[in-house]
Amino acid sequence: MESKTTSLAERGVEIRDARHADLGAVQSIYAHHVDQGLASFEEQAPDVDEMRRRFDDIAVRRLPYIVGCIDGTVAGYGYCAPYRARSAYRFVLEDSVYVDPAYLRRGVGRALLAALIERAAALGYRQLIAVIGDSAHLPSIRVHADAGFLRVGTLRSVGFKFGRWVDTVIMQRALGPGDGRPPVT
């Protein structure tokens, strides 16, 4: 049986490490989601310089920051960041995936998420958390569920954007042995 990642690659989604040269496209994709949607609770889209600073912060930690390309065009991006700063959370990451609206429903988000899961597990992380803006954001919830995430909670009305209260959905997926044995330190 073919994996979802393989079939997505065959559909033309190339996953690769992001580079500084991609950050203009990354900023444009993110700005759309900030300005038009509830996936991000930011209300002002950051500029390219700020996106570069954020990218460098992830890169210096040696965490995955990737792009999904179709025909050489950045169609989406994703990265993993520390879930929380306190030391006991050091084996947990949070994923973020954003897709250019012109490439929605073409497997880009699924391919990015699958690659992030694989890379985070290879780095020895044990849990991956998704904090999904808007409990009505069913495409993101479904993509995460299809990738093995379980819905572990909903934080009701924790954001106020576009004149209304917005929930966040918390989903979680074990990586590698998960909590089945202590981490190697």
CB 151 within 8 Å of CB 141: yes
- Its pTM stands at 0.93
Cα–Cα distance for residue pair 142/136, rounded to 1 Å: 11
* Mean pLDDT, rounded, for 98-126: 97
Q: Which of 178, 60, 61, 69 is nearest to 117 (CA)?
A: 178
pLDDT, residue 4, reads: 42
Which of the four pLDDT bands, split at 50, 70 and 90, describes residue 7?
Answer: very low
Looking at domain 4-174, its CATH architecture is 3-Layer(aba) Sandwich (3.40)
DSSP 137-172: -HHHHHHHHHTT-EEEEEEEEEEEETTEEEEEEEEE
